[in-house]
């Protein structure tokens, strides 16, 4: 009789977010394949408790230390280790008892635990693109040294990854990242200047966390994805292209040196790339709704409006400059998006804050990890000072 297959033990860092909850949906539907080992949240203790009671992981962590007692009390009857404080994220990432880390924390905060997992040679299903934007060279080098597979979860990068399966001997000519264009496609600065948070939070095709939704509206998300792609697939800046594809059914494409293009398609649903990453190298049968060409008789493609959505140009500048520029861009953007979400600055101010911060912070050609942290801190302080936070 064949030995029973071991379940993959999943550590979800950022389990209460959009990606985290969708990952738990995938795991719930395939509990013969997966079990939950670690769950972490920043401050949403209520949801974390609910998840912990359902999935009974080995350990949970809440970033907000004030919520430790609440978590501990709620889980007292269960055999679950309870941690608090963001510093302990790395401690959990250091556990030997998980097989895959799903890196689903938003922003720079995801870097340390992800790097820890990679340095242990763990497989990482990577949603947290900021990790690669900030310190892509160090993360990829560490992954290489410790043979840690990084499987992208970001839908565009999952698409490219899928297109590259079986093509290891074939050089990439370029990749084409598709962008929906967000809720303000076709709009001009005279419209954008008055945009408010609630409008910007309504994405036409994807339901996501607040930060990435704003990044999608400003096109910064696509810029961050260009940098993410450079590191994941070892590309030169000129090999990464963006095309606006409003329907979001072609998730991205790879062009090979014979001019042939492979695309990966499907309905816009993050559960698919999440499931692909967790199941890799196997595709898992599911009941997700199927794509129908008849429902999409017109697929459109157009050039991004670089003049209006200047974040994309700033990200390309950072992609080309290398060094700590993308780290600075990311930090300034996190501060500016946060301020926009709090109604402290306008939509177009986000770009202004990022631009001024890049101009201000000293360029470092080959930063160490400490220098990335310093650049991140300096950029945050400077961005906050111009916003007058």
Indicate the DSSP class of residue 65. Answer: G
Quick one: what does residue 130 bind among ligand NDP, Mg ion, none, with the CB cut-off 5 to 8 Å set by partner type?
Answer: ligand NDP
Query: Considering only 125-133, 185-193, 345-353, 367-375, which stretch makes contact with ligand NDP by CB under 6 A?
Result: 125-133
Query: Considering only 1-9, 121-129, 135-143, 318-326, which stretch makes contact with ligand NDP by CB under 6 A?
Result: 121-129
- Do 124 and 117 contact (CB within 8 A), yes or no? yes
Q: What is the full DSSP assignment across 92-113?
A: HHT-SS-SEEEE---SGGGHHH
Distance separating alpha carbons of residues 261 and 278, to the nearest angstrom? 26
Position among 154, 215, 228, 269 found at the interface with Mg ion (CB under 5 A) = 154
| Residue 127 interacts with ligand NDP (CB under 6 A): yes or no | yes
Q: Which is nearer to Mg ion, 208 or 384 (CB)?
A: 208
Number of other CB atoms surrounding residue 77 within 10 Å: 7
Q: Could you tell me which of 234, 206, 227 has the C-alpha nearest to residue 330?
A: 227
SS3 category, 54: helix
Quick one: what does residue 383 bind among Mg ion, ligand NDP, none, with the CB cut-off 5 to 8 Å set by partner type?
Answer: none
| Residue 129 interacts with ligand NDP (CB under 6 A): yes or no | yes
- Do 358 and 318 contact (CB within 8 A), yes or no? yes
| Residue 43 interacts with ligand NDP (CB under 6 A): yes or no | yes
DSSP element (H, E) containing 73: helix 68-74
Position among 149, 183, 209, 268 found at the interface with ligand NDP (CB under 6 A) = 209
Quick one: what does residue 16 bind among ligand NDP, Mg ion, none, with the CB cut-off 5 to 8 Å set by partner type?
Answer: ligand NDP
DSSP element (H, E) containing 81: strand 81-84
Q: Could you tell me which of 31, 86, 78, 29 has the C-alpha nearest to residue 50?
A: 78
Query: Considering only 109-117, 150-158, 304-312, 329-337, which stretch makes contact with Mg ion by CB under 5 A?
Result: 150-158
Q: Could you tell me which of 212, 331, 190 has the C-alpha nearest to residue 200?
A: 212
Per-residue contact string for residues 314-353; x = within reach of ligand NDP by CB under 6 A: ----------------------------------------
Q: Which is nearer to ligand NDP, 60 or 314 (CB)?
A: 60
Interacting residues toward ligand NDP by CB under 6 A:
14-20, 41-44, 63, 86, 104-106, 109, 127-130, 154, 206, 208-212, 270
């Amino acid at each position: 009789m064949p030995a029973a297959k071991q379940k993959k033990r999943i550590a979800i860092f950022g389990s209460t977010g959009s990606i985290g909850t969708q990952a738990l949906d995938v795991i719930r539907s395939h509990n013969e394949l997966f079990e939950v080992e670690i769950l972490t949240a920043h401050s949403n203790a209520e949801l974390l408790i609910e998840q912990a009671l359902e999935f009974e992981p080995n350990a949970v962590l809440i970033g907000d230390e004030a919520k430790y007692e609440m978590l501990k009390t709620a889980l007292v009857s269960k055999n679950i280790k309870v941690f608090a404080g963001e510093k302990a994220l790395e401690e959990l990432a250091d556990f030997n008892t998980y097989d895959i880390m799903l890196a689903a924390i938003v922003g720079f905060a995801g870097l340390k635990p992800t790097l820890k997992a990679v340095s242990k040679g763990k497989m990482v299903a990577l949603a947290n693109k900021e990790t690669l934007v900030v310190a892509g060279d160090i993360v990829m080098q560490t992954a290489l040294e410790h043979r840690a597979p990084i499987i992208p979860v970001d839908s565009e990068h999952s698409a490219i990854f899928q297109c590259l399966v079986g093509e290891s001997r074939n050089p990439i000519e370029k990749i084409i990242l598709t962008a929906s264009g967000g809720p303000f496609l076709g709009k001009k600065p005279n419209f954008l200047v008055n945009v408010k948070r609630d409008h910007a939070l309504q994405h036409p095709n994807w339901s996501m966390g607040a930060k990435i939704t704003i990044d999608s509206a400003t096109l910064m998300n696509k810029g961050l994805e260009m940098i993410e792609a450079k590191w994941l697939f070892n590309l030169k800046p000129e090999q990464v292209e963006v095309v606006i594809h409003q329907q979001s059914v072609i998730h991205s494409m790879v062009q090979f040196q014979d001019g042939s293009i492979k695309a990966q398609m499907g309905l816009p649903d993050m559960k698919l790339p999440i499931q692909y990453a967790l199941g890799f190298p196997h595709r898992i049968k599911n009941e997700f709704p199927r794509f129908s060409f008849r429902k999409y008789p017109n697929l459109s493609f157009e050039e991004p409006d670089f003049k209006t959505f200047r974040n994309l140009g700033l990200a390309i500048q950072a992609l080309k400059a290398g060094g700590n520029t993308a780290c600075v861009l990311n930090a300034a953007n996190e501060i500016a998006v946060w301020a926009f979400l709090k109604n402290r600055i306008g939509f177009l101010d986000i770009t202004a804050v990022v631009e001024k911060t890049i101009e201000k912070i000293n360029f470092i050609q080959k930063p160490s990890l400490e220098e990335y942290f310093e650049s991140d801190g300096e950029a945050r302080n400077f961005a906050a000072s111009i916003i007058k936070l």
